[in-house]
Structure 1
Amino acid sequence: MNASRRDFIQKFALSATVLPMLSSVSAAPALQYLEQKDGPVLRVALMGLGGYAQRVAEAMQSCKRAKITGLISGTPSKLKEWGDKYKVPETSRYNYDNFDKIKDNPEIDAVYVITPNALHHDQVIRVAAAGKHAICEKPLAISAKEGQEMVDACAKANVKLLIGYRMRFEPNTLEVVRLRETGEMGKIKFFQGQTGFVAGDPSQWRLNKALAGGGSMMDIGIYAINGARYMIGEDPIWVSAQETKTDPVKFKEGVDETIQFEMGFPSGAVASCLSSYNINHLDRFFLSGDKGFAEMWPSTGYGPIKGRTHKGDIGKPHTIHQTTQMDAMASIILDGTKPHLPVDGIVGVQDLKIIEAIYASCKTGKRQTLDLG
């Protein structure tokens, strides 16, 4: 492919527009995300060399169990620049047309797909067909149906499908989970998740329904959904939501600007959440039980993550999230270890089912019952 990634995305978006619009601290030991072991290194090809991939690549320079051994991009200049910088030979550099050839490259164990949401489905399935493990950025896909197809394809190929849910390895987050699991907060009654920022460039792919599958919910609101699930320790059984749109020019049909949503859980706990592409300073989790509370602010940014409980400051050391995530994923893939909080494709499909129910509630004005399977 001679076209740049931008051209590739623009062509995809153009073809899609002719179709109908689619989606302190306790004395007890800290919870460990997994036991780090010495062992083989996971050899990873990065697909989609954009801004977040750059963050991942820099973080991986500090990994003990993972390294960059392949690159996939539609931009030849990026392949050369990144290849030279990270010492990836030309034989392990691919474009979007020929990356199926990774099947014959023994220097690649897994591919980290970091492309626009609508591309994840086909790309992960091609990765699986090539016999490589897939790591996919969130959201897994633009629909639960597509997500399940990805899960099935990876299972059929006997490769793992993991999602870049980096907060599920973050030390302060896991300390709150530990406090909840040990009963130190008592019966959990309430969770609040505020997630959002002002989206900039109106021409970016994240504001294109065909490429993003939606708006703020698919990008930032998914953190509140995911956070509610691991903070409360249950899966929701119903959801109710309403959308506010103040700028229909920037946030076109199918691209949500701001959504408020509530979720109910089997124990009786409730969650109240906000997802926005038009409000800054939203990055806060709050968990309340009948014996205590935990607050994280910031809660999902790149860090440092800060938190306090009814006992005082959590104070876990800051880690580079992507470094921790990739070392953990290497252990999952190579050692068969199980993280305390799962990051497999099934979790991603469940989050997409919740998002679809939120959109349905916004459209109908009615509470939606959830069956996450």
Structure 2
Amino acid sequence: MSSRRLFLHKLTAGLATIPFLSWDEVPVLTEAVKVPRPLNVAIMGLGGYGTMVANAMRACKKAKLNGVISGTPSKISDWQTRYRIPEKNCYNYDNFDNIASNPDIDAVYVITPNGLHKDQVIRVAKAGKHVICEKPMAVNAKEGQEMVDACKKANVKLLVGYRMHFEPKTLEIIRLRKAGELGKIMFFQGLSGFTIGDPKQWRLNKALAGGGSLMDIGIYAVNGARYMVGEEPVWVTAEETKTDPVKFAEGVDETIQFQFGFPSGAIASCLSSYNISYLDRFFLSGDKGFGELYPATGYGPIMGRTNKGELSFLHVTHQTVQMEEMADIILNGKTPIVPVDGEEAVKDLKIMDAIYLAAKTGKKIPLK
């Protein structure tokens, strides 16, 4: 046998010993793809807004509702069924410190009355979980700073539910202002108001709300003035109007008008009210153009225009976008265009403290 034929004979004999594999049995060699895990969130406070956030999170890919904290057993049971929450991830206000040993919860979104925020946020931080707190973060700047300090000490992030900081038409006006397309900013107007209903609700309870319309909706104008103008105010004046002292008891403001002055010379004129409806407008004026949002802070869609025409962006549920962005901030260290951290909230609280002082004293209050 020639050497060539001997080689082929040995080769085919060797191949005969290799078992035949069907296509189903052939291993697929692919590069492993790491799928990032979502931020697992527990919601504390299962009321109307908590439900809105929970429903919005159904569309999230980066954030997942995975726990609940409530003082009402029937609500916990209902949410377990509706959102498929495991029993082991359900807590009440007495035992929620036990989340410390629960790896299924990364962060807690506190959506309870304002007066409860400080103690609840600090407890969550001590349990080693990140915190998202609905605005206003606290009832005054002192409490807000205590919350910031507690979260820093526990090495957890503290974010605040500033959903408008991610709204595209809002961000477009901010972009135009930063790009100089509006010129020198001269004036901002922020109007926030509606006629409040049930006089027994917690928003009209000083201990739980920390105030009245300013704490609830006036904060939009306070915060909006800062990010629209792009500066921190240096003085505040304010005046309160009260037509119903029974419904709006001492310490619960019905309507407040307030004004800011900024280092550049720009001024802001704002109003918040629980007794005037159809107020939801931001207007920013520069010497080369303007930006307007009306409605400016409602749940959507937001409507906007500038001196060059209408702003057109696809509306996505605000709370869905907010939770996606906050998951990125917590898990990946993303930096938002407009801050949403606890320090940002303390700045608002200091200004609101000054507004109340100005309304009480009738004096122009300087801001540090």
Asked if structure 2 preserves the Cα contact closer than 8 Å seen for 1:40 and 1:334, the reply is no
Which stretches in structure 1 are left out of the alignment for 5+ residues? 1-36
Q: CA RMSD in A?
A: 0.9
Tell me if 1:120 matches 2:114.
no
In the other structure, the counterpart of 1:12 is: none
Q: Deviation per CA, 1:256-308: give whole Å up to 9, x if none.
A: 00000000001110000000000000000000000000111000000000000
CA distance, structure 2, for counterparts of residue 315 and residue 324 of structure 1: 17
Q: Alignment partner of 1:338: what SS?
A: coil
CA distance, structure 1, for counterparts of residue 143 and residue 361 of structure 2: 23
Normalization by structure 1: what TM-score? 0.89
Q: Which structure exhibits the higher relative contact order, with contacts defined as CA atoms closer than 8 Å and separated by 6 or more residues?
A: 1
CA distance, structure 2, for counterparts of residue 60 and residue 327 of structure 1: 8
Q: 1:34-73 residue pairs with structure 2 within 5 A? A: 39-73=36-70
Name the CA shift for 1:352/1:91 in 2 (closer, same or farther; >3 Å): same
Residue identity in the other structure for 2:102? N
Asked if structure 2 preserves the Cα contact closer than 8 Å seen for 1:72 and 1:96, the reply is yes
Structure 1 runs, 4 residues or longer, greater than 3 Å off: none
**C-alpha displacement at 1:325, in angstroms?**
0.2
**C-alpha displacement at 1:45, in angstroms?**
0.2
> What is the aligned counterpart of 1:108 among 105, 108, 111?
105
**C-alpha displacement at 1:183, in angstroms?**
0.4
In the other structure, the counterpart of 2:79 is: 82
Residue identity in the other structure for 1:348? A
Name the CA shift for 1:172/1:218 in 2 (closer, same or farther; >3 Å): same
CA distance, structure 2, for counterparts of residue 219 and residue 38 of structure 1: 39
In the other structure, the counterpart of 1:6 is: none
CA distance, structure 2, for counterparts of residue 136 and residue 83 of structure 1: 22
Q: Deviation per CA, 1:154-175: give whole Å up to 9, x if none.
A: 0000000000000000000000
> What is the aligned counterpart of 1:149 among 146, 149, 152?
146
**C-alpha displacement at 1:40, in angstroms?**
2.3
Residue identity in the other structure for 2:166? F
> What is the aligned counterpart of 2:279 among 273, 278, 282?
282
In the other structure, the counterpart of 1:352 is: 349
CA distance, structure 1, for counterparts of residue 104 and residue 138 of structure 2: 27
> What is the aligned counterpart of 1:188 among 181, 185, 189?
185
In the other structure, the counterpart of 1:169 is: 166
**C-alpha displacement at 1:315, in angstroms?**
1.1
Asked if structure 2 preserves the Cα contact closer than 8 Å seen for 1:192 and 1:271, the reply is yes
CA distance, structure 1, for counterparts of residue 190 and residue 314 of structure 2: 23
CA distance, structure 2, for counterparts of residue 83 and residue 238 of structure 1: 49
In the other structure, the counterpart of 1:271 is: 268
In the other structure, the counterpart of 2:336 is: 339
Q: Alignment partner of 1:308: what SS?
A: strand
CA distance, structure 2, for counterparts of residue 286 and residue 39 of structure 1: 40
CA distance, structure 2, for counterparts of residue 243 and residue 38 of structure 1: 53
**C-alpha displacement at 1:317, in angstroms?**
1.4
**C-alpha displacement at 1:39, in angstroms?**
2.6
In the other structure, the counterpart of 1:159 is: 156
**C-alpha displacement at 1:316, in angstroms?**
1.3
In the other structure, the counterpart of 1:179 is: 176
> What is the aligned counterpart of 2:358 among 361, 367, 370?
361
In the other structure, the counterpart of 1:131 is: 128
Q: Deviation per CA, 1:97-136: give whole Å up to 9, x if none.
A: 0000000100000000000000000000000000000000
**C-alpha displacement at 1:51, in angstroms?**
0.1
Tell me if 1:239 matches 2:236.
yes
CA distance, structure 2, for counterparts of residue 271 and residue 319 of structure 1: 29
CA distance, structure 2, for counterparts of residue 350 and residue 278 of structure 1: 27
Count matched residues: 335
Normalization by structure 2: what TM-score? 0.90
Asked if structure 2 preserves the Cα contact closer than 8 Å seen for 1:168 and 1:343, the reply is yes
Q: Alignment partner of 2:360: what SS?
A: helix
Q: Alignment partner of 1:174: what SS?
A: helix
CA distance, structure 2, for counterparts of residue 111 and residue 175 of structure 1: 30
CA distance, structure 2, for counterparts of residue 95 and residue 133 of structure 1: 18
Q: Alignment partner of 1:186: what SS?
A: coil
Larger of the two Rg values belongs to structure: 2
Asked if structure 2 preserves the Cα contact closer than 8 Å seen for 1:172 and 1:314, the reply is yes
CA distance, structure 1, for counterparts of residue 271 and residue 246 of structure 2: 21
